[in-house]
Amino acid sequence: MSLMTLSRQDAVWVLEFHGSETQKGRFENRFNPDFVAQFNKALDEIEKDKSCAALVTTSSGKIYSNGLDLAWMGENPKDVDDFMASVHRLLHRVMFLPIPSIAAINGHAFAGGFMLALCHDYRVMREDRGYLCLNEIDLGMNLTHGMNALVRAKIDPYHLRAVLLTGKR
């Protein structure tokens, strides 16, 4: 099953997430091994293209990404450490792409989805199309060292405090 589609419009690659559908009929674009593998495969193709000028990521539906697939993680506890390492490598890879990257956030970007957006060089979002949120505090989760470093580097201290300590949207 394809969780995303890679297309090219002139010199710009567009990677659209359309992950697996939930029981509520939403496409949450959560990070699980399949999502990470398909994202990396798309990045391989983009990095081979020397004429590419930029990458835009977006999604179909109302959710850009709801981050980690907690259900998958709960079902596969022995694989979580390796999986988290693969997520860190993916975020690092997006952050250091050799071309400009733009997150066209068309809906909610929570937790790891927000972090993915932060890894892009630019982020654009309509005010009326969703929320950005680090809701780990609400879930009783801690950020990994790498994710903590990412949000500290990308979010100003005033907003960082509110985002991390209150889960404010």
Q: What is the pLDDT of residues 78-117, one digit of tens each?
A: 999 999 999 999 999 999 999 999 999 998 999 999 999 9
**Please, what's the largest Cα pairwise distance for the chain?**
45
Assess if residue 168 is contained within a domain.
Answer: no
**Which CATH number is 126's domain given?**
3.90.226.10
Residue carrying the six token digits 């580097």: 153
For residues 154 and 96, give the distance between their C-alpha atoms in angstroms, rounded to a whole number: 14
Q: List the structure tokens of 125.
A: 């979002």
Assess if residue 98 is contained within a domain.
Answer: yes
In degrees rounded to 5, what are phi and psi of residue 34?
-65, -45
Which tens digit of pLDDT belongs to each residue from 9-31? 999 999 999 876 554 545 689 99
For residues 68 and 13, give the distance between their C-alpha atoms in angstroms, rounded to a whole number: 24
Give residue 56's domain range. 4-132
61 within 8 A of 96, measured Cβ to Cβ:
no
Binned at pLDDT 50, 70 and 90, residue 2 comes out as confident
Assess if residue 81 is contained within a domain.
Answer: yes
Binned at pLDDT 50, 70 and 90, residue 130 comes out as confident
The predicted pLDDT at position 23 comes to: 46
- Mean model confidence pLDDT for the chain: 89
Q: What would the mean pLDDT of 37-62 be, rounded to a whole number?
A: 94
Which tens digit of pLDDT belongs to each residue from 69-82? 998 999 999 999 99
Assess if residue 144 is contained within a domain.
Answer: no
Assess if residue 138 is contained within a domain.
Answer: no
Assess if residue 147 is contained within a domain.
Answer: no
Assess if residue 108 is contained within a domain.
Answer: yes
Give the count of domains, the chain: 1
Report CA dihedral (155, 158, 160, 164) to the nearest 10 degrees.
-170
67 within 8 A of 115, measured Cβ to Cβ:
yes
| Percent of the chain's residues with pLDDT above 70 | 92
Binned at pLDDT 50, 70 and 90, residue 1 comes out as low
Assess if residue 160 is contained within a domain.
Answer: no
